[in-house]
Amino acid sequence: MARPSAANIVVIGSINVDLIAQVAHLPKPGDTVSATQLLKRFGGKGANQALAAARHGAQVMLIGNLGDDPDGRDYRNHLRREGINCSSLNTIRGGTGNAFITVDAKGENQIVVIPGANGALTGPSIKMQRARIAVAKTLLIQLEIPTEAVVDAIRIANETKVSVVLNASPVAPDFPWGDLKIDVAIVNENEAEEIFGLKPSAASAHHDSWKERLTKFRIRDLIITRGAQPTLLITKAAVAEVPTHPITPVDTVGAGDTFAGAFVTHFAEGTDLPECIRWANAAAALSTLKSGAQEGVPHRGDVQSALTKAK
């Protein structure tokens, strides 16, 4: 259930059905490895983040595409059960998106995405959602859909004074950094180095360089997740570290999406950024205790309990 004061969040992004193979170790190029089991789960960065925000108490509208196949029908019913507003989910001819995921004994993963219906989420289809984006408190979006859709959505948010949280993942070489205003960008350390050309590990020592990148890329605040290492918050004023929540992971698939969904909920509620990150770190950690991108996504009360015990 959404909290009485819950902020209205619009999430735009991919919706995939995941096929997850459990293996002893990830294959190297040319390798063939045997899987101990194959799981079918709901996933996709957009849907994962929408679900994480909804379980954290936000009022969430998800904008995206499903195929007209059984997977699409099952997914829509699943999202409705989670309390997500599906009125802007389009059903199009063809298959729902898929992801083939390999997970090793340490919880590390490799992912191959087949866009399916997600590939038809175009700029014109996003422009038709202008009225819904315009009334949101915050727009949360990722790069697992066509870049033109992302650009048009952010442009609408900029024009209507809606805050934008961009999870710039996976890296899109054609994303027009600097043309759009981003309130908060969230990336992992590999994505950060690829996008900004700087090493996150030396962020404190080279704050001026990071500050220059934020200005050039029109990003107000940058968050860099680093697995078990403290999460970095880079602002124009300083570099801060927020400790992660210690846990032994079972499956890290979807942890970054859980982070984004939990973060944007607190961000839209007006919480200060370090506290938003503290909650998101704990939510992401708890999400790794079960296999699958959504199975382990915690509810707000679970995260609160974990943070209370950690004090």
Q: Hey, how many other C-beta atoms are within 10 angstroms of the C-beta on 4? A: 6
Environment class of 270 (CB within 10 Å of its CB; exposed 0-12, middle 13-18, buried 19+): exposed
Q: Is the dihedral angle over the CA atoms 126, 168, 261, 159 positive or is it negative?
A: negative
| Pair type for strands 138-142 and 163-167 | parallel
Q: Hey, how many other C-beta atoms are within 10 angstroms of the C-beta on 57? A: 22
For residue 111, give Cα distances in angstroms to 64, 97, 104, 208: 20, 13, 12, 35
For residue 110, give Cα distances in angstroms to 101, 121, 133, 224, 237: 6, 25, 33, 20, 36
Q: How far apart are CA 61 and CA 203, in angstroms?
A: 35
Catalytic residue among 174, 257, 272, 302: 257
Q: Which residue, 92, 145, 155, is CA-closest to 122?
A: 145
Annotated catalytic, 31?
A: no
Catalytic residue annotation: 257
